[in-house]
Amino acid sequence: MDKLLAVIVACCSLCLSARAAEVSVAVAANFSAPMKVIAPTFERETGHKLLLSFGSTGNFYAQIKNGAPYQVLLAADDETPIQLESEALGVRGSRFTYAVGTLVLWSKRADRVDAKGEVLRNGSFQRLAIANPKLAPYGAAAVQTMTQLGLLKELQPKWVQGENIAQTYQFIATENAELGFVALSQVMAEGKISQGSAWVVPASLHSPIRQDAIVLARGDNQPAVLALMRYLRSDRTQALIRSFGYAV
């Protein structure tokens, strides 16, 4: 009987060790807040461990090209995952849009940004923070917005560029820039702007910020990776993502 019990315990241990795995995930900086909520719940419910890295999509692309051991990319755009798929660095057929981002012009000061963004025209500020448009899709959307408003040439000398949207937020939060373009998810809490003042940029002023997830070559056919991709598409997770100001 004791031998039988030992065999059962050993088999259970093997099953658990086979089931639990680590997943290395590269996460676009704008999605930091939602992912920090999603991760512990996913880990608790599945037994898998997420190793999260946050940064700019452009930098992640370069790292993946150079052999970085990421298994999943949650990008800030849809172009980078498509490119990775075409280069056989992403698993064909695994890509999907997990969120659609919203751009916002934000200031830490409550009286700085008006509800229509007219502050951009009156020019009553010295520094305007944007994410590097060559690396960060939210930065590219900010440039498109200023172009559509006919203000690009006028405002460009005032730019303070962050490497990614997280650094851009820090510039504004520390008031090294009076205002700037960030992701709505960074300044929203409980369905409203958490502090300061903001103008939610109309979607018509820039290309849609479709944020795609893709399984990378190193994560192909990994059960833990597949579990994460299913989890991101679940109704409960999608509802949580919406609560941070994204469309899904």
Instruction: Express each pLDDT in 85-129 by its tens digit.
Output: 999 999 999 999 999 999 999 999 999 999 999 999 998 899 999
User: Domain check: are 81 and 35 in the same one?
Assistant: yes
Give the strand pairing for 128-131 and 179-183: parallel
C-alpha distances in angstroms, 94 versus 217, 225, 230?
11, 11, 11
Same domain, 83 and 9: yes
On the question of pLDDT at 170 being above 90, the answer is yes
- How many distinct structural domains can be found in the chain? 2
| Residue 180 sits in the same domain as residue 223 | no
Same domain, 164 and 230: no
Domain of 182 in residue numbering reads as: 103-200
Q: Is the pLDDT of residue 10 over 70?
A: no
Q: Same structural domain for residues 6 and 94?
A: yes
Q: Is residue 248 part of a domain?
A: no
Q: Which residues contact 227 (CB under 8 A, 6 or more apart)?
A: 42, 46, 48
**Average pLDDT of span 211-236:** 97
Q: Mean per-residue pLDDT for 15-25?
A: 74
Tell whether 140 and 221 lie within a shared domain: no
Six token digits for residue 50: 């997420």
Q: Does residue 150 sit in the same domain as residue 183?
A: yes
What's 163's domain CATH number? 3.40.190.10
Please classify residue 97 by burial: count the beta carbons closer than 10 Å to its beta carbon, then call 0-12 exposed, 13-18 middle and 19+ buried: middle
The per-residue pLDDT for range 27-85, each reduced to its tens digit, is 998 999 999 999 999 999 999 999 999 998 989 999 999 999 999 999 999 999 999 99
Contacts of 202 by beta carbon, 8 Å cutoff, 6+ apart: none
Confidence of residue 8 (pLDDT cuts 50, 70, 90): very low
Instruction: Say yes or no: 131 and 54 in one domain.
Output: no
The per-residue pLDDT for 130 is: 98
Structure confidence at residue 79 (pLDDT): 95
Residue with tokens 């057929």: 93
